[in-house]
Amino acid sequence: MSDSPPLSYRYLRPEDIQRLGGFEYAPKLVVEGYLSGRHACRSRGASIEFHDYRSYSEGDDLATVDWRVFARTDRLYVKTFEQEADLECHVLLDSSASMGSGGEPGKLDFASFFAAALCYLVIRGRDRASLHLFDETLRHSMPSGSTRGHLHSLLNLLENNRPGGPTSIATSLRKLYPLIKRRGTLVVISDFYDDAGEIFSALSPYLHRGFRVHLFHVLTPLELKMDLEGFFTFLDAESGGKLVVRCEEMREPYTEAMGVHMQAMRQLAARRNVDYALARTDGSLFDLFDHFLR
Amino acid sequence: MNLFFLNGSWLPWIIAAAGVPVVIHLLARGRPPKITFSSLRFLLKADGARRRLRKPQDWLLLVLRTLLVMALILLFLRPILRDVQMQEAETPQARHVVLVVDATASMSAREGGRSRLATAAALAGQRLRDLPAGSTANVIWMRNRPDPIFPVLGPNLQSLQEALQSVDGSMETGLPDDAVAAAVSMLEKVTGVKEIVVFSDFQESTWKGVTLQTPGDIALRLVPVGESLIGNTAITRLTAEPASPLVNENVSVQAEVANFSAQPRKQTLYLDTPGGRQAMELNLEPWSTVPAVFRFRPEEAGALILTASLDEDELAGDNRRWAVLETSQSIPVAIVTANAEASPAREWAKALRALEWMDLSIYPNRESVPAATEVLFLADWDGNFGATQIPTIAALGPGTRMSPELRLELAREPWFVRVEKSDHPAFRVFADGRMGEPVEAAFKQRYAFSNGVGMPGSAVLAYQDGMPALWQSAEFPNLLIWNLDPDPATSSWASQPQFLTFLGELVATGRTREGRVSEGVPGQAATLALREGSLIGDYKFLEGEAPLPVEASPDGALLLAHSTGNPGVYTWNIENKSAARHVVNFSPEESDLRPLDREATMRVGGEILSSAQAIATTKDRELWPWILALVVLLLFCEMAAVHWIEKT
């Protein structure tokens, strides 16, 4: 990519690329892939490296039993192996109406910047990235690719993306699952205005299949702190509903309710070994990479 | 017990008033700015939580404030618990009621922001509202004359209430007996339950000694109006001396100011004359009257209006008083004589011509004397006084025919004259002695009465032997019989300065003018004699510039004007020229606002009711003190609740 003309898209500018030079996309999860690459892959076949022992379960291939360990210990253990393969990173970007609100930058813009940078890093590392836009359902799915041309397509898709209808993350996740052939990393960038239990229920197949899931919770400072004074009429970006409140009175119960939701997300994420991070639109998305790529 | 509202008619106004701040709030409140938010999900959750948290507090405040507003409304409506008394039967019986409302001047006194008359009218109106169906009623205003709203009792209670609501105060005095008698005569024509209710301040000056008698089938109830004793300051007198001065003559204006209160008062009394305003500070002790004397000199002839005034107090009608001075340039005097060169006409004329304020004319006979003459000197009086009212000094002479006959007497020893009636006005100027005696001369000639003057009267001056020198007739008080010979041949008196002075004083103090200023009290008819040959249309009675109704007396001799309710100066115009003035002043007896004491009121007769019990058919219990206590309690609770909510 270094010999090609510099990229300049709305969500990936030359200065962004320059800053991303210090980052490398190296996810922690071991995934399977059939192209030889730099990543470890747990699958039988052309095993390259011994990975680990586990107890024998009825049905396991007897060829994988380590008889020497059995001779020593009189217990049955099977070996597991690693195989490097290409990593797929699936970016699921919330493009519902709620993502259209926020100051400057708006949430969708912020999320799009992050998604663009992430796709760039993945493809730069000769890995494959896919981009899926959703609101109440999957609106647009671009399958995995690792070429520069594919990156251009992703960036174009982001540029032409606009906030849509109401949010249904769980539905979108369920619709996406059959479209993803190989497990990899699933990055969900959303404001998560949906039921936490439903979301994680929809993530269960991914987790069971071995996806590494990252959740980036995009919120504006207003959504976090409700730091307005006086009476305001709040208009729901998705439903159009209205509520007149006095912000000073609402601040404490609102932040408490939002905190409860975020805490629920955090707890469910921790329980399911899902990575969860808060992405404030007034922060730097490069700080997110620090978190994500450590 | 039934619940009623004394001010029930206020309810629509109270509701309207309560709505005003709400409307203002709705119009004035701004619309909050709009902000698009990702999702109301958590806001709704938070709002619900907040509302759940605040709901009990909001409900508590709402309940307290609603109760407070309701209690305030109830307070203004003045609820009463009424225990309706059935007089005779189990079911309310129609009644025939005459309400006598004291509308005299004292009822104009203001108490608690409104006049006592308004209070009485309100109580009377309430009385009408509480009458059972089928009742008839009437209202009589107690004034100078009883003034019923309708000639007879009637069922049109609404009209009576409207008349009560729109009553105006008057400055008139009142006659309680006449008013109650008028009420009795109305009730005698109906059968059934009858009563008279009198609403009055029972002013002592009006009601003292009054005992109201009503037939046995007519109940009499008295409702004293007025919660407290109202102090009052009034001008009770205003006179001028002389009342008919000459231009540039010194006039003494005397006023009296009375303090009808238990507190000392300091007042400034003003006197407005054509020459300007004078002021005098007066210190008034409780229940005292203080005289005040002003002096001024009229500079022009005519009817001059004097106005005395005080600062207005609770009873404003008696803080002003008027007087009218008829001022003239000179006094028209006539001498009737057949021979102007003979005494005493000659000496009279010489002396009177020396006084520039005398307008002297000499006539050969009485018939040619003009009507405007104010003093008449008759030389050679024939003994007939005639019907004239002009002050006449009639000199005895040969032509005088009196019984017994006169005879001219010559003195062996000179006669001297002494003053017999020292209080006669003509001698006032001689009182301090500086002018000497009025007659300090010897007389050698006089007329003698052989056996008294022959007419009732008394000597003003007399010779030392008792012979009358100047005799005032008792039968004709304007007649002075002159028995003083001023002829220089027989007396030196005419050459003395006292002669001129005495003659001038005799004229000045004895003159009378055809009455052109009359006085009366508010409501009392003004009268004027109708001149022969005049039409009633030639006359106008004016209050300022406004003409008032005038009617002729039954005998056609007098004009009557009844519209004299307001104190002030009225004018009679004849053929568009001012002919006479009528001064109406507040009756001083209305100024003392002290009421009868309880015992004296009881002696008036009838049953005495308090203002709260004025509605005679019922016994009411006022609930406002309890409601007021409730309002105060709710206020404290609301404040405590707000404080507690803010703390939590």
Laid out side by side, the sheet with B392-396 consists of B358-363, B331-336, B375-381, B392-396, B479-482, B468-473, B457-463, B406-419, B442-449
At A293 the pLDDT is 64
At B515 the pLDDT is 61
The two structure tokens encoding residue B468: 């009358």
When mean pLDDT is compared across A79-83, B28-32, B234-238, B447-451, the lowest value belongs to: A79-83
DSSP assignments along B359-370, one per residue: EEEEESSGGGS-
Give which of A48, A80, A47 is closest to A66, Cα–Cα.
Answer: A80
The two structure tokens encoding residue A178: 């059959």
User: A244 to chain B: which residues are within 8 Å by CB?
Assistant: 32
- pLDDT tens digits, B594-637: 998 888 888 888 888 877 666 545 556 778 888 999 999 999 99
User: A253 to chain B: which residues are within 8 Å by CB?
Assistant: 45-47, 49-50, 53
Chosen from B25, B31, B38, B52 to mutate, greatest number of chain A CBs within 10 A: B38
- pLDDT tens digits, A75-126: 888 776 554 444 789 999 999 999 998 777 899 999 999 999 999 999 988 8
Which 8-state DSSP code applies to residue B452? B
- pLDDT tens digits, B466-525: 899 999 988 887 888 899 999 999 898 988 888 989 998 888 887 766 567 889 999 888
CB B645, CB B57: distance < 8 Å: yes
Pairing of strands B232-241, B251-260: antiparallel
Bridge partners of B302, per DSSP, are B327
DSSP assignments along B154-178, one per residue: BS-HHHHHHHHHT---------HHH
Q: B127 vs chain A: nearest CA distance in angstroms?
A: 55
The two structure tokens encoding residue B537: 């249309």
B111 contacts: CB under 8 Å, gap ≥ 6: B119, B226, B227, B228, B230, B314
B462 contacts: CB under 8 Å, gap ≥ 6: B417, B418, B420, B468, B469
At B405 the pLDDT is 67
User: A261 to chain B: which residues are within 8 Å by CB?
Assistant: 42
What CA–CA distance (Å, rounded) separates A231 from A228? 9
At A156 the pLDDT is 94
The two structure tokens encoding residue A112: 């799009």
- % pLDDT > 90, chain B: 38
CA quadruple B500, B504, B507, B510: dihedral sign: negative
pLDDT band, residue B51 (cuts 50/70/90): low
- pLDDT tens digits, B360-377: 999 998 888 888 888 989
Three-class secondary structure of residue B306 per DSSP: strand
Contact B39 A98 (CB under 8 A): yes
Chosen from A136, A254, A260 to mutate, greatest number of chain B CBs within 10 A: A254
At A3 the pLDDT is 52
At B87 the pLDDT is 42
Please indicate if any CB of chain B lies within 8 Å of the CB of A179: no
Nearest residue in B to A242, CA atom: B40
At B89 the pLDDT is 42
At A46 the pLDDT is 42
Residue A38 in this model has a pLDDT that exceeds 50: no
User: B35 to chain A: which residues are within 8 Å by CB?
Assistant: 228, 232-235
Alpha carbon separation from A137 to A170, A173, A176, A193, B37 (Å, rounded): 9, 8, 9, 14, 21
Q: B26 vs chain A: nearest CA distance in angstroms?
A: 15
User: B40 to chain A: which residues are within 8 Å by CB?
Assistant: 234, 236, 239, 241, 243
- % pLDDT > 70, chain B: 92
At A87 the pLDDT is 75
- pLDDT tens digits, B567-603: 999 999 888 888 889 999 999 989 999 998 888 888 8
What CA–CA distance (Å, rounded) separates A221 from A233? 18
Alpha carbon separation from A14 to A8, A117, B230, B384 (Å, rounded): 6, 11, 98, 147
What CA–CA distance (Å, rounded) separates B534 from B574? 9
At B177 the pLDDT is 93
State the residue for tokens 């979301």: A199
B85 vs B332, more confident? B332
DSSP assignments along A32-72, one per residue: --SS--SB----SSS--EEEEEEE--TT--GGGB-HHHHHH
- % pLDDT > 90, chain A: 47
Alpha carbon separation from B14 to B17, B77, B367, B530, B634 (Å, rounded): 5, 9, 80, 59, 20
Q: B31 vs chain A: nearest CA distance in angstroms?
A: 8
Residue A226 in this model has a pLDDT that exceeds 50: yes
Chain center to CA of B452: 48
Residue B640 in this model has a pLDDT that exceeds 70: yes
DSSP assignments along B50-118, one per residue: HHHHHHHHHHHHHHHHHHHHHHHHHHHH-EEEEEEPPSSSSS---EEEEEEEE-SGGGG-EETTEEHHH
pLDDT band, residue B396 (cuts 50/70/90): confident
Residue B62 in this model has a pLDDT that exceeds 50: yes
Average pLDDT over residues B409-416: 89
Chain center to CA of B136: 35
Average pLDDT over residues B525-551: 84
- pLDDT tens digits, A179-215: 988 888 999 999 999 999 999 999 999 998 889 999 9
Give which of B170, B237, B197 is closest to B567, Cα–Cα.
Answer: B170
User: B648 to chain A: which residues are within 8 Å by CB?
Assistant: none
Strands of A146-221 (E only): list them.
185-190, 212-219
pTM higher than 0.90, yes or no? no
At A90 the pLDDT is 95
Average pLDDT over residues B167-183: 92
Residue from the list B31, B37, B45 with its beta carbon closest to the beta carbon of A234: B37
CB B407, CB B450: distance < 8 Å: yes
Give which of B48, B192, B206 is closest to B142, Cα–Cα.
Answer: B206
User: A167 to chain B: which residues are within 8 Å by CB?
Assistant: 39
What CA–CA distance (Å, rounded) separates B200 from B223? 7
Which 8-state DSSP code applies to residue A147? S
Any idea how long chain A is? 294
Pairing of strands A212-219, B110-111: unpaired
pLDDT band, residue B460 (cuts 50/70/90): very high
At B29 the pLDDT is 62
pLDDT band, residue B291 (cuts 50/70/90): very high
pLDDT band, residue B52 (cuts 50/70/90): low
B532 vs B548, more confident? B548
Bridge partners of B309, per DSSP, are B270, B320
- pLDDT tens digits, A43-87: 444 444 565 677 787 777 787 788 888 888 888 887 765 544 447
What CA–CA distance (Å, rounded) separates B171 from B161? 22
Residue B410 in this model has a pLDDT that exceeds 50: yes
A154 vs B532, more confident? A154
Q: B159 vs chain A: nearest CA distance in angstroms?
A: 56
Three-class secondary structure of residue A256 per DSSP: helix
Nearest residue in A to B40, CA atom: A236
A147 vs A4, more confident? A147
What CA–CA distance (Å, rounded) separates B473 from B393? 11
Q: Work out the angle at residue B363's Cα, subtended by the Cα atoms of residues B361 and B364, and round it to the nearest 5 degrees.
A: 160
- pLDDT tens digits, B79-134: 877 665 544 444 567 789 999 999 999 999 998 888 999 999 999 999 998 888 88
What CA–CA distance (Å, rounded) separates A179 from A199? 18
Chain center to CA of B288: 20
Question: Rounded mean pLDDT of chain B?
Answer: 86
At A84 the pLDDT is 41
What CA–CA distance (Å, rounded) separates A12 from A158? 10
At B497 the pLDDT is 87
Average pLDDT over residues A141-147: 92
What CA–CA distance (Å, rounded) separates B153 from B330? 60
Please indicate if any CB of chain B lies within 8 Å of the CB of A94: no
Residue B226 in this model has a pLDDT that exceeds 90: no
Long-range contact list for B13-22, CB < 8 A, 24+ apart? B14/B73, B14/B76, B14/B77, B18/B69, B18/B73
What CA–CA distance (Å, rounded) separates B210 from B603? 8
Residue A35 in this model has a pLDDT that exceeds 50: no
The two structure tokens encoding residue B247: 């231009």
Amino acid at B91: T
Question: Rounded mean pLDDT of chain A?
Answer: 83
Three-class secondary structure of residue B462 per DSSP: strand
Over the range A167-187, which residues count as b (16 or more CB within 10 Å of their CB) and which as e?
bbbbbbbbbbbeebebbbbbb
